Amino acid sequence: MISVAIMGHGTVGSGVAEILLTHKHKLFTALGEELYIKYILDLREFPESPVADRFTKNFNDIINDLDVSIVVEVMGGTNPAYDYVKRSLQAGKSVVTSNKELVAKHGAELLAIAKETNANFLYEASVGGGIPILRPLSQCLVANEVDEIAGILNGTTNFIFGKMINDNMNFDDALKLAQDLGYAERNPEADIEGHDACRKICILASLAFGKHVYPDSVYTEGITKITLDDVKHANNLGYVIKLIGDVKKTENGKLDICVCPMLISKDCILSDINDVFNGIMVKGDCTGDVVFYGKGAGKLPTASAVVADIVDCGKHLKTRKRMFWTDGDGSNIVSYKDSITSVYLRVEGNGDKAVEAFKDSQVVDANGETIILTKEYHFGEIEEKLAALKADGVNVLSAIRVGNI
């Protein structure tokens, strides 16, 4: 019997407890041992829970119990999650987490502690919810050099784009609908400003390339400026707009990484990922394009990924899984100004000056506005040209990257 402590009894935490109870037999068969919920840490009371007797409000009950070999952190945020996870690992307990903020901010440090104490620190649920992605990336694709990872990593923003594309809804109405349906938080900033997707691409990049990439070193742009007009023009040009987290290895070995709305060609499978679904494309030098698709959030999908990690910890209580990276100082990240991309521009009027500034680009007349799909430039150069146009009185209504995925 392996004793497990679950820290947090919110959406994901209650899902983890539910799966451990309802899928007991299947998990026993897979692991060869019983997984026993010994503690659930939460400040609230849950008298109706079938494991109401296991609740505690005191982390010391968990850390001081030698019997607990696996600690599950599903509290969210970094305080007190960071402290509790760190102390659990230092005590030689294995930790499973779904907390992307924690892993993106402190992954390298926590993995190093786990290595020192010969414990496991697993975090499959932190990216893509129920979609298997991190374990396949580190195990199944081990015989590949990863060239690029590009993904729709946030279901809420993908839902909003879907409503704009298919139902002609503007951004504000689509966001309100997402909130009404419970997909978006009352404070939707983490989703719509791209912070959530940024944490996830940081975790993917860290694991795939071996050095920690911190969120503050990633160029991150949200979707709040995207208009219904842009969505329609993109459609006419054979594209859809998606919020993409992207990291690719450049020729000098550095990482070009960003999170921003992009025009994605309708020929790319990522353009077909709709509603609240996530899709993550991994380009390996041997496999070519591999895509993982599914629900990137939600109680049971996320909890099922957590439970798979618990089982994996249970199988490897005395050995360590190599889902590992070391610390990074940002020196392996390309400045966003040096990133090479083409952009979609929507310009007021006939756009003569903009067309001249972005020579040799594709130009489309559109009802008193001009659409320009530029050739490739360094992003810094694009910024300079846009600033000069603005100074010259040209009204550039939108500038959105064109994904080259």
> Among residues 221 and 312, whose Cβ is nearest to its own copies?
312
> Among residues 27 and 68, whose Cβ is nearest to its own copies?
27
The count of other CB atoms within 10 Å of the CB of residue 120 is 26
Q: Shortest Cβ distance from residue 394 to its own copies (Å)? A: 39
CA pair distance 239, 264, nearest whole angstrom: 5
CA pair distance 165, 160, nearest whole angstrom: 9
Q: Which residues contact 377 (CB under 8 A, 6 or more apart)?
A: 340, 341, 342, 343, 358, 385
CA pair distance 133, 139, nearest whole angstrom: 10
In this structure, the strands spanning 219-220 and 255-265 are: parallel
Asked if 335 interacts with its own copies (CB under 8 A), we say no
Residue 322 carries which side chain, given as an amino acid letter? R
Q: Which of 176, 254, 295, 353 binds its own copies (CB under 8 A)?
A: 295
Residue ranges of E strands in 58-187: 68-73, 94-97, 121-122, 146-152
Question: Choosing from 105, 200, 249, 283, which is the catalytic residue?
Answer: 200
> Among residues 6 and 300, whose Cβ is nearest to its own copies?
300
Asked if 208 interacts with its own copies (CB under 8 A), we say no
Asked if 235 interacts with its own copies (CB under 8 A), we say no
Which stretch, 54-62, 142-150, 221-229, 238-246, contacts its own copies (CB under 8 A)?
142-150
What SS3 state is found at 345? strand
Q: Which of 144, 170, 265, 404 binds its own copies (CB under 8 A)?
A: 144
Q: Which helix (H) or strand (E) holds 28?
A: helix 24-31
Q: Which of 33, 193, 289, 384 binds its own copies (CB under 8 A)?
A: 289
Burial of 28-64, coded b for 16+ CB within 10 Å and e otherwise, reads eeebeeebebbbbbbeeeeeebebeebbbeebeebbe
> Among residues 289 and 381, whose Cβ is nearest to its own copies?
289
Q: Which of 2, 19, 89, 175 binds its own copies (CB under 8 A)?
A: 19
Asked if 112 interacts with its own copies (CB under 8 A), we say no
The interaxial angle of helices 100-116 and 81-90, nearest 10 deg, is 20
Q: Shortest Cβ distance from residue 41 to its own copies (Å)? A: 21
Asked if 322 interacts with its own copies (CB under 8 A), we say yes
Q: Which of 140, 355, 364, 397 binds its own copies (CB under 8 A)?
A: 140
> Among residues 130 and 261, whose Cβ is nearest to its own copies?
130
What SS3 state is found at 4? strand
Distances (CA, A) of 323 to 73, 97, 139, 290: 18, 13, 9, 19
200 carries an active-site annotation = yes
68 touches 313 (CB < 8 A): no
Residue 280 DSSP symbol: E
Asked if 389 interacts with its own copies (CB under 8 A), we say no
Q: Which of 21, 63, 91, 290 binds its own copies (CB under 8 A)?
A: 290
Provide the mask over 248-287, with x wherever binding to its own copies is found by CB under 8 A and - wherever it is not: ---------------------x--xx---x------xxxx
Asked if 211 interacts with its own copies (CB under 8 A), we say no
The count of residues interacting with its own copies (CB under 8 A) is 47
Asked if 304 interacts with its own copies (CB under 8 A), we say yes
CA pair distance 54, 116, nearest whole angstrom: 30
Residues involved in catalysis = 200
Kindly list the residues in this chain that would bind its own copies in the complex (CB under 8 A): 15, 19, 23, 26-27, 30, 32, 124, 130-132, 135-136, 139-145, 269, 272-273, 277, 284-295, 298, 300-301, 303-305, 307-308, 311-312, 322
